[in-house]
Structure 1
Amino acid sequence: MLSLTFEASACGTRLSLSEDFPCSRLHSNSFIVTVLLGNCEPLDSGWPPFRKNCLFCAVSIVWPDQHMSVFDGDWLKKHCFSAAARQAMQEELFLNERYYWDSKLRIPTADYQEVLHDDKAALAWLLALRRVGIVYLKGAPAEEGQVARLADRIGYLRLTFYGHTWQVQDKAMANNVAYTSGKLSLHTDYPALHFAPGVQFLHCINQAVNGGESEVVDGFHMAEKLQREDPEAFRTLTSVRVDFTDTGTDYCDFMLQSKKRIIDVDAEGRVVRINYNNATRDSVLDLPVHRVQPFYRALKAYVNIMNRLENVVTYKMEPGDIVTFDNWRLLHGRRSYISRPDRLRHLEGAYLDWDEVMSRLRILRKAVHGEL
């Protein structure tokens, strides 16, 4: 015999049940506005009569207009207002749980062709990208256009001032430090934008013989270490807004300016985004003089942690490799390399936003596993 324990205070208010329940009549175009939000009836006017049906583990409610709604037990449990139920729902929707790592990380790897053509492989790729923050794809053709194909698997590319895609090469008169053969210090891309791209693809078409190794660190994990080792520095970097700037001409001419905290946290204090690129951090520091030294001290503490050898993962891409990573979480860099005309290092890059990536992840999860 099945039983259903119905606790009104946990399962919701009268208003929330009538608003949330997927009933075609209740969700007519005008119902929410004219009945729920425009009705003069007090919102706390109490519960209408309800009946438990233990055979089908459901609750039926007859509303004042005599319309009846039947609430399945699983649906009620999923929409419960208890802390545990709400946490489970948020994790299902947003997959906020992360796997933190250091130099011992073995970067998750997937097959490029399988990701393009198999839903299970694509889902595994995006889940790892969300949890770990970086996934290596092997087996792509060593020619331009593959990051666009990969983006089509998700949705669409993010257009920036460097175009839909961009070629990372040693260029004369470079307008970006990435377009040289020099060392790239650890950074996130585009903090000069108010809404920086969430995900980055880099496809190796040709690699330098000497040098050019890639470096990545887990910025969220480094922020956690900073909070543990130097709480005052963490408070500074999560509160002080820093100016970033970027000016040049590529896809079009641009003159960007933004203010960002180096470490963004949510209402619960969880780290949600890293904004750091010393190449585009402005010389302007909009701080009262007594806060300048504490800011530099805090930033130095964070940079020192991220540059510790035990925290940095180093790898060298080969032609046909695509690395996909979370630009809000990872800081990435590159060792210098020797540029040769007969072996020009060439990567093609592209961006997407997390909204598109998470949308495709949810669609794939439903296709592979059914409704969760």
Structure 2
Amino acid sequence: MQRAFNTFEIPQDVRPEQIDVQENGVRVQWSDASHDSFYPWDFIETYIQSDRRTPEPRRIEYFGSNGSGNSTSWPPSVSSKDLEDNETRTVAQLTDFIKRFGLVFVTGVPFETGEATKKLLEKIAFIRQTHYGGFYDFIPDLAMADTAYTNLALGAHTDTTYFTDPAGLQAFHLLSHADPTAKDGEGTLGGKSLLVDGFYAASLLRKESPRAYKILTTHKLSWHASGNEGITITPDTSYPVLESKSNGQGLRRVRWNNDDRGVVPFTERSPMEWYEAAREWHSILTRKDLEYWVQLTPGNLLIFDNWRVLHGRSAFTGVRRMCGGYINRDDFVSRWRNTNFPREEILKRVVG
């Protein structure tokens, strides 16, 4: 054990003043005299051998137009009553559904105002502030300079592609939908919500067109939000449509919104190659067997993973009142960890 410790690199700017090798580890007094440190033997051995943390469990189930083929009950849901009765247990289930399927519904949410929805989302983590505000509660408003605030149909897309760190979770709760000018028997008012599993779509693209997949994972684009006066937001660097994990094991994030996309670069390869790959990607996203359509109703809150699930809607008439918000990815994952796993197991993953 002592030989292993002697190979352990010490930072050059601060040197150990005194090293005490003990049976269960090593205690170090540092030259800056600010503190002592203790390193257990298993910690030292881990970092000498590989410097790798325990991998995070990755249990992903794809969904399509008929839901998930591996799930006995679809869609995944929890009740707001269960959240009130046992918050920790229900949040554990809720966040695990999102990690597994990419989405979850919360049933029985009061809808007279948006306050109950806001409090429910805050049980996961704090609501993220953007240039549109924090918790949103809105009806169509063209002054917002965003198609989300219209009654137009929207194709499948992810939100906040123009942020370096796009919103991790997004939530929608339809509080009301009415058209005072419509006559009885004229049919539905429209506004069905569209959800597409971006990870599933990417897996099909990789299988059917490896060249297109490679282009969309390597060709980096600019993204921006500049439709509002005084707002010009862009990420810290260019990002591809499909972002792989740093270790190359699986997909990390989907970033897809034509309304936010900048000019396709002329460097690295011809822009025509990117457009050809994008057309193949679009053709997969719009396959009927990948489009999961659901009519949102008052009382049923939808929460989904904005890094994985693309969303859209059909056009609608009348006035819809919608509320919801964004939650940061890191805060969501932290809540998932701390409600589903013991503290010791979590620290092995994030510290070592």
TM norm. shorter chain > 0.5 = yes
Match of 1:102 among 33, 39, 64: 64
Q: Within the alignment, does 1:327 sit opposite 2:306 as a pair?
A: yes
Q: Is the 8 A contact 2:4 2:48 kept in 1?
A: no
Q: Within the alignment, does 1:128 sit opposite 2:93 as a pair?
A: no
Q: Within the alignment, does 1:255 sit opposite 2:232 as a pair?
A: yes
CA distance in structure 2 between the aligned counterparts of 1:183 and 1:319, rounded to whole angstroms = 20
Q: Within the alignment, does 1:365 sit opposite 2:340 as a pair?
A: yes
TM-score by length of 2: 0.78
- Residues 312 and 117 of structure 1: is their aligned pair in 2 closer, same or farther, counting only changes over 3 Å? same
Match of 1:275 among 246, 251, 255: 255
Q: Is the 8 A contact 1:147 1:201 kept in 2?
A: no
Aligned residues: 316
**Displacement of 1:101:** 2.2
Where 2:266 maps in the other structure, the secondary structure is coil
CA distance in structure 2 between the aligned counterparts of 1:288 and 1:280, rounded to whole angstroms = 20
Aligned to 1:38: 15
Say what the alpha-carbon RMSD is for the aligned residues.
3.5
Query: How many percent of aligned residue pairs carry the same amino acid?
Result: 24
CA distance in structure 1 between the aligned counterparts of 2:38 and 2:141, rounded to whole angstroms = 69
CA distance in structure 2 between the aligned counterparts of 1:68 and 1:173, rounded to whole angstroms = 58
Where 2:224 maps in the other structure, the secondary structure is strand
- Residues 107 and 79 of structure 1: is their aligned pair in 2 closer, same or farther, counting only changes over 3 Å? farther
Aligned to 1:139: 108
**Displacement of 1:144:** 1.4
**Displacement of 1:34:** 8.9
Match of 2:245 among 266, 275, 285: 266
**Displacement of 1:178:** 0.9
**Which amino acid is 1:254 matched to?**
I
Q: Is the 8 A contact 1:114 1:122 kept in 2?
A: no
Where 1:90 maps in the other structure, the secondary structure is coil
User: CA offsets, 1:293-344, max 9 Å, x none?
Assistant: 11000011011111101111110111011101100111101011112xxxx2
Aligned to 1:26: none
* 1:53-64 superposed matches below 5 A: 60=24
* 1:157-176 superposed matches below 5 A: 157-176=127-146
**Displacement of 1:170:** 2.0
User: CA offsets, 1:262-300, max 9 Å, x none?
Assistant: 000123322100111012222x22224951111000011
**Displacement of 1:98:** 1.8
**Displacement of 1:124:** 0.5
- Residues 61 and 206 of structure 1: is their aligned pair in 2 closer, same or farther, counting only changes over 3 Å? closer
**Displacement of 1:145:** 2.2
Aligned to 1:346: 321
Aligned to 2:277: 298
Aligned to 2:81: 113
CA distance in structure 1 between the aligned counterparts of 2:256 and 2:17, rounded to whole angstroms = 51
**Which amino acid is 1:185 matched to?**
G
Q: Which runs of 5+ in 1 are unaligned?
A: 1-7, 20-31, 42-47, 51-59
* 1:73-92 superposed matches below 5 A: 89-91=54-56
- Residues 127 and 82 of structure 1: is their aligned pair in 2 closer, same or farther, counting only changes over 3 Å? farther
CA distance in structure 2 between the aligned counterparts of 1:199 and 1:299, rounded to whole angstroms = 25
Match of 1:286 among 236, 247, 265: 265
User: CA offsets, 1:162-200, max 9 Å, x none?
Assistant: 101223422244411011111011000011112111111
**Displacement of 1:238:** 0.7
**Which amino acid is 1:183 matched to?**
A
Where 2:233 maps in the other structure, the secondary structure is strand
CA distance in structure 1 between the aligned counterparts of 2:302 and 2:109, rounded to whole angstroms = 11
The structure number with the bigger radius of gyration is 1
**Displacement of 1:221:** 1.4
CA distance in structure 1 between the aligned counterparts of 2:59 and 2:293, rounded to whole angstroms = 24
Where 2:130 maps in the other structure, the secondary structure is coil
- Residues 291 and 155 of structure 1: is their aligned pair in 2 closer, same or farther, counting only changes over 3 Å? same
Q: Which has the higher contact order (CA 8 A, sep 6+)?
A: 2
Where 1:242 maps in the other structure, the secondary structure is coil
- Residues 230 and 140 of structure 1: is their aligned pair in 2 closer, same or farther, counting only changes over 3 Å? same
Q: Is the 8 A contact 1:62 1:68 kept in 2?
A: yes
Q: Which runs of 5+ in 2 are unaligned?
A: 30-36, 68-73, 179-187, 346-352
TM-score by length of 1: 0.74
Q: Is the 8 A contact 1:237 1:261 kept in 2?
A: yes
CA distance in structure 1 between the aligned counterparts of 2:192 and 2:120, rounded to whole angstroms = 23
Match of 1:246 among 206, 210, 225: 225
- Residues 293 and 136 of structure 1: is their aligned pair in 2 closer, same or farther, counting only changes over 3 Å? same
**Displacement of 1:130:** 1.2
CA distance in structure 2 between the aligned counterparts of 1:317 and 1:242, rounded to whole angstroms = 33
